[in-house]
């Protein structure tokens, strides 16, 4: 189990803006990795109501369950490594493994047994170091939709925010209100019901 504070800034991109940035930073296909997020919540979205999110990320042959919870200027991420068997069971039956994340969910007065599998989102991701942070270029596919997103992960909120805004201005990209991936996933899922 590990915990870390995630401070990141996000901006949706058009396909052309995404491609322009990939070209600008000379990012080749070999630098783009694929990862799949599998999302979970109760049928009544109790985690979402607590501004929290639960996912299992499959990256290469490794699986990691992550609970994201609001914390100061960012999100507190609690990570728990899973075996392939545990991840497969969770994705196919909704049965999540015991551990620290179960304990944290219980503290929110949410029954772990009520959590269900909602679906997956596949992201093609490239990352580069940029001015004391990490620029992340994401092309995501989910529920018959695709989108493009820029993230900037930092350790200092105020400094990171200033750098991110300057970066967008430098590349003539308008600031856009950007929900996180799980929220975009759920909004799309609700539209399709």
DSSP state at residue 193: -
Residue 158 forms part of a structural domain = yes
| Domain total of the chain | 1
Residue 193 forms part of a structural domain = no
Range of the domain at 118: 2-187
Residues 184-192, mean pLDDT to the nearest whole number? 84
Closest CA relative to residue 123, chosen from 168, 58, 65: 58
Q: What is the pLDDT of residue 140?
A: 97
Question: What's the pLDDT band for 114 if we cut at 50, 70, 90?
Answer: very high
Residue 17 forms part of a structural domain = yes
Q: Is-contact 139 122, C-beta < 8 A?
A: no
CATH code of residue 48: 2.40.320.10
CA 59 to chain CA mean position, Å? 13
Question: What's the pLDDT band for 187 if we cut at 50, 70, 90?
Answer: confident
Residue 192 forms part of a structural domain = no
Q: pTM for this structure?
A: 0.87
Q: What is the pLDDT of residue 29?
A: 95
pLDDT digits (tens, 9 = 90+) for 140-182: 999 989 999 999 999 999 999 999 999 999 999 999 999 989 8
For residue 176, list its beta bridge partners.
none
Q: Is-contact 75 183, C-beta < 8 A?
A: no
Question: What's the pLDDT band for 193 if we cut at 50, 70, 90?
Answer: low
- Does the pLDDT of residue 68 top 80, yes or no? yes
Q: 162-170, long-range: CB within 8 Å, 24+ apart, which pairs?
A: 163/130, 163/131, 163/132, 163/133, 164/9, 164/11, 167/130, 167/135, 168/11
DSSP string for 28-58: -GGG-EEEEEEEEE-TT-HHHHTT-EEEEEE
Closest CA relative to residue 41, chosen from 14, 11, 68, 80: 68
Gap between the Cα atoms of 4 and 29, Å rounded:
29
Query: Which helix H or strand E contains 71, and what residues bound it?
Result: strand 62-71
Gap between the Cα atoms of 79 and 135, Å rounded:
22
- Does the pLDDT of residue 103 top 80, yes or no? yes
């Amino acid at each position: 189990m590990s915990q870390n504070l995630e401070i990141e800034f996000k901006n949706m991109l058009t396909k052309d803006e995404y491609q322009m940035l990939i070209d600008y930073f000379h990012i080749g296909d070999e630098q783009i990795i694929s990862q799949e997020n599998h999302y979970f919540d109760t049928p009544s979205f109790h985690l979402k109501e607590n501004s929290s999110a639960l996912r299992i990320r499959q990256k290469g042959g490794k699986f990691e369950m992550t609970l994201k919870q609001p914390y100061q200027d960012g999100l507190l991420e609690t990570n728990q490594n899973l075996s392939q068997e545990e991840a497969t069971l969770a994705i196919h039956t909704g049965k999540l493994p015991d551990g620290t994340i179960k304990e944290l969910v219980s503290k929110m007065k949410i029954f772990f047994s009520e959590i269900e599998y909602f679906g997956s989102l596949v992201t093609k991701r490239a990352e580069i170091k940029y001015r004391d942070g990490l620029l992340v270029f994401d092309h995501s596919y989910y529920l018959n939709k695709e989108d493009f997103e820029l993230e900037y992960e930092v350790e200092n909120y105020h400094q990171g925010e200033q750098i991110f805004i300057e970066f967008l201005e430098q590349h003539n990209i308008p600031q856009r209100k950007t929900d996180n991936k799980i929220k975009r996933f759920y909004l799309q899922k609700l539209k399709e019901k």
